[in-house]
Amino acid sequence: MPSWKELPGVKAGVVTGDVAWAIMKHAKENAYAIPAFNCTSTSSVNAVLEAGAKLDRPIMIQFSEGGAAFFAGKSLSNKNKEASVLGAIAGAHYVRMVAPAYGVTVFVHSDHCAKKLLPWFDGMLEADKAYFAAHGEPLFSSHMLELSEEDHAENISICADYLKKMAPMNLILEMEIGITGGVEDGVDNSGVDNSKLYSTPEDTWAVYEALHPISEKFTIAAAFGNVHGVYKPGNVKLQPELLDSFQKHAAAKLGDGSTKPLFFVFHGGSGSEKSDIASALGSGVVKMNVDTDTQWAYWEGILKFYKGNDDKLQGQIGNKDGPEKPNKSYYDPRKWLREAEVTMCERVQEACKDLSNVNA
């Protein structure tokens, strides 16, 4: 099996279309996954790129609707999702500009888009169209629709409609079926009955049947007991073996000799057992979202810096070494934000290792 680097078209910078899809196929065949990190600023993007460069592995940067709005600036109006559209586009362009300098192969993705957020999705697709017209590829690598709140038929049919718009630009669609527990981006599933936290083989097959005739470039975030945010231990049991049963069902329906026809995405995996992650990787998980753990890592760098230097962070002048001592070199944002980046960069590398996204 050739290395992912030998796949045709792989380069430093943002990958889209057939190249991006070939890496996902390679991941499935080699039982690793590309971690996708939620970024909200150039600082967090840089931390992810730095980690990708250190490991020399493909990586994914994703912007949520709220994270994208934050990227453009919290003070902007977002009444019609204009700040979310602008921030996601600005973020994608930023990644495109700097990733080649880092030497990193990167996917740019937009995260959870619920039905009420579709204007955000539409705005990003417009930007993809304009970029495609100019450069022959979309601005983003992939986008996610999160319609699991709707009934399955509506979820799948809206996904099919969007995939029809995305396929001519070679965009990858990620969709979610079955309910991921917990709270994320304003969707609160924390009260959902535990029995609804598991998808069925029929669910994922229905997605394949509807989407595959349009384009092969789609991934499924199926529910197998995963919970967005942090786990309450013992609350829900992760059953990654369900993914294997979904693959077997789809393979039997296809009857074409394929064994793992589905591409899965792992949402809500913070705090998962390593053995559950390994099992998921063997069952066709090609992408895993990482947000909560890197949020903590980013904060932890600042926390440690503050605790280690608190006397120098109370005023511009004066610390325990003397009342005249200047503190500028401590409160300069480049100092403490860098500490956040360093700890986030380490956590990003750890996530890559957990997902076997490391050079063997």
The residues binding Zn ion (CB under 5 A) are: 176, 180, 267
Tell me the C-alpha to C-alpha distance, in Å, between residue 312 and each of 309, 335, 340: 6, 12, 18
Smallest distance from Zn ion to CB 52, Å: 23
Work out the number of other CB atoms within 10 angstroms of the CB of residue 232: 12
The catalytic site residues sit at 111
Q: Is the sign of the CA dihedral 315, 321, 324, 325 positive or negative?
A: negative
Q: How far apart are CA 62 and CA 109, in angstroms?
A: 5
CB nearer to Zn ion: pick between 37 and 330: 37
DSSP per residue, 255-301: -SS-S----EEE-S-TT--HHHHHHHHHTTEEEEEE-HHHHHHHHHH
CB nearer to Zn ion: pick between 128 and 176: 176
CB nearer to Zn ion: pick between 180 and 357: 180
* Strand (E) or helix (H) holding 62: strand 59-63
Q: What contacts 92, CB < 8 A, 6 or more positions away?
A: 14, 63, 108, 127, 139, 140
CB nearer to Zn ion: pick between 138 and 269: 269
Q: How far apart are CA 44 and CA 31, in angstroms?
A: 27
Give the CA dihedral 261, 61, 18, 58, nearest 10 degrees: -80
Smallest distance from Zn ion to CB 68, Å: 16
CB nearer to Zn ion: pick between 144 and 160: 144
CB nearer to Zn ion: pick between 176 and 291: 176
| C-beta of residue 147 within 8 angstroms of C-beta of residue 158 | yes
CB nearer to Zn ion: pick between 180 and 279: 180
Position 296: which residue type?
W
Tell me the C-alpha to C-alpha distance, in Å, between residue 324 and each of 21, 208, 321: 59, 69, 9
Q: How far apart are CA 317 and CA 327, in angstroms?
A: 6
Smallest distance from Zn ion to CB 268, Å: 6
User: Is 175 strand, coil or helix?
Assistant: strand
Is residue 184 classed exposed, middle or buried when 0-12, 13-18 and 19+ CB atoms within 10 A define those classes? buried
Tell me the C-alpha to C-alpha distance, in Å, between residue 61 and each of 48, 122, 125, 340, 348: 8, 20, 17, 17, 11
| C-beta of residue 169 within 8 angstroms of C-beta of residue 129 | yes
Smallest distance from Zn ion to CB 338, Å: 31
**Cβ-proximal residue to Zn ion, closest one:** 267
